Structure 1
Amino acid sequence: MKAVGLIVEYNPFHNGHAYHLSASKEAAQADVVIAVMSGNFLQRGEPALLSKWYRTKMALLNGVDIVFELPYRFATQKAEIFANGAISILEAARCESICFGSESGDISSFLHTIEYIKEEEKNLDDGIKFFMDTGVSYPKATALAFKQLQSSNNYLDLAKPNNILGLEYIKAIQRQHSLINPMTVTRKNANYHDEHFTSETIASATSIRKAIFSPKAEGQGIDQYVPAATKQLLEEYFHHFQLFHQWENYWSYLQFRLIHSSTEDLKEIYEMEEGLENRLQAAAIQSESFQQFMERIKTKRYTWTRLQRLCVHILTNTKKVEMNSNLEKATYLRLLGMTANGREYLNKTKKDFTLPLVSKLSSFKENMIDLDVKAARVYALGVPNHLKDEMFKQEFSQPPIYIK
């Protein structure tokens, strides 16, 4: 059976994802679609709208055959490390290809850009340093330095987020000497960061989340932008847990961690850079909400996303010593769910997997999974008190979801 891999968050699964899934399966002529999906905290440094188990069910009901969890140590990282973890999982699961959405839509432009970056590495590094010295963030400095260097239209626009991720996926394939074949499809109609609906059927996850949290401001619902299964699961989750997760649900916990930790302890948090701990601690004392706190700490040098990821690590008390090793490859395959077709693939192929397959957490003793468990426990703090215990236990008791 031929498998194509997708690297996803599905926060939530929408019509654009459905298009990407079907286009990927067709382009790869695949029998099976395997998704590597971030857990409860995401690459932009946010809690997922709803739990990984509900998002897994969304994926399976909408055409994915197997869902593996992207571990916390990769899911809450910059693009390079995020890509390392995801590609290593798809390689271990014997995917023949990956297909990602991009603003470019042309795989040759990715390959040309990678070669050009190798040739111009010294000049690019000098350019990045120059622009960072002006006070801009690393991603912005990289995009500016690359734009300054290039003399052709055959290269990627590195100011576009999905182009950046796609580039890192291919670089990870090359670093890991993987035989995975990279492919890309053009994102349709909506851009990654769009906050408003610009199409009749396709919308970004950002705009959908904004509509969910402020439907009156958006002036319309989300029904036309998501499959029926997504709508049903969103309603079911809200009815049961009485909320969708967002940073404000965790603000009191983050504020407590910041105010009651010493600056020496905060310095040990992953991605904490010298001096930031003082800025964050002072802002936490003065702020009444997470939004207010972020507005106080934001600078040109640090992107909103970069600061949110740091906040996730503070919230989960994740130390540098826990994260500064094993960032090249995943060490296990955590199975979250499968269809009948996915189970057939696992039965035929799992003997050839190069990483241990984890379907029951209690039987797996790998230390690396402790970060996922801790993140799941912290995520559960966001729900009402009488439901916390249920969500705490789910991490250990929930078997992989099976859709016949």
Structure 2
Amino acid sequence: MRTVGLIVEYNPFHNGHLYHLRRSVAVTQADAVVAVMSGNFLQRGEPALAGKRARTEMAMRGGCDLVIELPVSYATHAAEWFAYGAVSMLDATGVVDALCFGSESGEIAALRRIAAVAAHEPAVLKERLAERLRRGQSYPAAYSAALRDCFEAAGDAEAAAFPLEQPNNTLGLHYLIALERLGSPIEPFTIRREKAGYNERTVTDGAIASATALRKLLNEQRHPETIAPYVPASTLAILEREWRAGRAPLGWHAFAGKLFHMLVRADAVELASCRDVGEGLEHRIKQCLPLLPSLDFEQLVDAVKTKRYTRTRLQRAFLSILLGLRKEEALPALLEDGLRYIRVLGFNDKGQALLKRMRDCAKLPVLLGAARPPARFRQLELDAAASAVYALGYDAPAPRDIASDFYEPPVRI
């Protein structure tokens, strides 16, 4: 059974995702789809619109056969480690033959050449990167420019001109770098992203809109029916159910009070111990707090944001504070060797057949049950704690919601 792997957030699963999933199956000639999906908190430092079980069901109704969870330490990290964790997870299943990701370019040849160089971090790349960082550029911009410098010097005009600053191209590059570093046999493919850009906040098409634009519509109109033209009927039904239950739509507004409690309680030293908090950010946060017009998350981000501290970086920093993600647990050496298990979020009959194959070929233990995590699975403890925090954002959380990772079995369709 030929299997394609997808790296997803599905926040929420929409018509553009459905197009990508179907095209991925066609392009790779796959018989089955494995998705590695972020849990309740996402790569840009945001809470998910709906919880991971609801989004797993959206994914499976849309055509995924097996959904596994990307641990929160990777799911909420910058592109390099988000990609490394996700690709490592797909590689560890032992059943994934191809990886297909969306990109603005839709071209993979130049991207693979760039990845082959970037994966080995040559001295010239490190030098150019350090130089641009000293000039005050943000890390993503400095990294893209440093790679461009390297390929211009090597005379590869196509690679030098490749638009790495576009977000899906950037993620695609890091997926390819991860494949290179892992020596994975998974074959990469890419599909051009159509009609709606990753961060596009307005709707410009009658059937396809970005997840960012859809969340904006939901926050403005406050009813799931608002996005009906842009999502499959199954997504709309699941979202309506979660909405009625008070489990959606979640965002930073649902956690602002808890975050401000932690910000005023912790001193600067404690804040600085959290992942993504550094270079004086802890002091800037403390200085800005009493100057805010109100205790509003958006006002906090606007007050703290600078050229150095971008919105995405700040959201990841605040998320690390909210979830208690510490620097010492996010060291590169630990992240490189940090995966210890494969946590299954959902499967159908075809996914069950994949799980049977994984008994013999998976590189890591496959977790289906709802038992307390073994002590050696620190990442699983962090995931369970993140799920507990997420449940506190519900309208009326129940004690069982807080311990859902220990009680709820995988979604079965």
Does the alignment reach a TM-score above 0.5? Answer: yes
Deviations 1:122-180 (A, max 9, x none): 44433333332332211122233344554413452111111111111111111111111
1:357 maps to amino acid: V
Q: CA deviation at 1:252?
A: 1.0
Q: Distance in 2 between matches of 1:138 and 1:296?
A: 21
2:335 maps to 327
Q: What CA distance in whole angstroms lies between the structure 2 residues aligned with 1:121 and 1:302?
A: 27
Aligned runs of 1:2-401 on 2, under 5 Å? 2-94=2-94, 95-115=96-116, 117=118, 121-148=122-149, 150-151=151-152, 152-155=157-160, 156-215=162-221, 221-241=226-246, 243-287=248-292, 288-324=295-331, 325-329=333-337, 330-362=339-371, 364-365=373-374, 366-384=377-395, 386-401=396-411
Determine the C-alpha separation between the residues in 2 that align with 1:57 and 1:115: 36
Alignment partners' CA distance in 2, 1:183 and 1:38: 21
> Matches of 1:179 and 1:323 in 2, distance apart?
27
How far is 1:102 from its partner? Answer: 0.6
- Once residues 234 and 115 of structure 1 are traced to their aligned partners in structure 2, the CA distance between those partners, rounded to angstroms, is 41
- Code of the residue aligned with 2:390 in structure 1: it is Y
Letter aligned with residue 353 of structure 1 = A
**CA contact 1:93–1:350 (8 Å) conserved in 2:** no
Deviation at 1:255, TM superposition (A): 0.8
The offset of 1:241, in angstroms, is 1.2
Q: Which moved more, 1:312-321 or 1:53-62?
A: 312-321
The one-letter code of the counterpart of 1:86 is A
* Letter paired with 1:202: I
Q: 1:243 to 1:111 in 2, by over 3 A?
A: closer
Q: Tell whether the 8 Å contact from 2:195 to 2:209 is kept in structure 1 after alignment.
A: yes
Q: CA 1:30–1:120 in 2, change beyond 3 Å: closer, same or farther?
A: closer
Q: Tell me if the contact between 2:151 and 2:159 (Cα under 8 Å) persists in the aligned partners.
A: no
Mark the CA change 1:119 to 1:273 in structure 2 (over 3 Å): closer, same or farther: closer
Q: 1:118 to 1:59 in 2, by over 3 A?
A: closer
Q: Percent identity over the alignment?
A: 39
The structural deviation recorded for 1:393 is 2.9
Q: Report the Cα offset of residue 118 of structure 1.
A: 7.0
Q: Secondary structure at the match of 2:99?
A: strand
Query: 1:91 is matched by which residue type in structure 2?
Result: D
Residue identity matched to 2:352: R
User: How much has 1:400 moved relative to structure 2?
Assistant: 0.4
Quickly say closer, same or farther: Cα 1:123–1:335, change in 2 above 3 A.
same
What secondary structure sits across from 1:301 in the alignment? coil
Q: Distance in 2 between matches of 1:199 and 1:67?
A: 29
How much does 1:378 deviate? 1.0
Cα 1:37–1:153 change in 2 (3 A) is same
Evaluate the alpha carbon distance shift between residue 148 and residue 347 of structure 1 in structure 2; reply closer, same or farther with a 3 A threshold: closer
Task: Give me the whole-angstrom Cα distance separating, in 2, the residues matched to 1:123 and 1:240.
Answer: 55
For 1:165 and 1:3, the matched residues in 2 are separated by 21
Structure 1 residue ranges without an equivalent (≥5): none
The 3-state SS of whatever aligns with 1:278 is helix
- Distance in 2, Cα, partners of 1:231 & 1:41: 21
1:391 Cα shift? 1.8
Q: Deviations over 1:336-365 (max 9, x none)?
A: 000111112212333211100111131540
Contact 1:34 1:64 in 2 (8 A): yes
Opposite residue 132 of structure 1, the aligned amino acid is L
1:80, CA displacement in angstroms? 1.1
Q: How far 1:22 sits from its partner (Å)?
A: 0.7
Deviation at 1:227, TM superposition (A): 0.5
Checking the alignment, whether the CA contact within 8 Å between 1:132 and 1:301 is kept in structure 2 is no
Query: Which digits, 9 at most, give the CA deviation of each residue in 1:182-221, with x for residues without a partner?
Result: 11111111110100011121111100111110139x9x93
Amino acid aligned to 2:207: T
Q: Would you say the 8 A contact 1:34–1:67 is kept in 2?
A: yes
In 2, Cα distance between equivalents of 1:45 and 1:149 = 31
Contact 2:129 2:142 in 1 (8 A): yes
Q: How far apart in 2 are the matches of 1:20 and 1:167? A: 18
Unaligned runs of 5+ in 2: none
SS at match of 2:318: helix
For 1:376 and 1:17, the matched residues in 2 are separated by 24
3-state SS of 1:144 partner: helix
Bigger CA drift: 75-84 or 235-244?
A: 235-244
SS of 2:165's partner is coil
SS in 2 for 1:361: coil
* Displaced runs of 4 or more, over 6 A: none
Q: 1:13 to 1:357 in 2, by over 3 A?
A: same
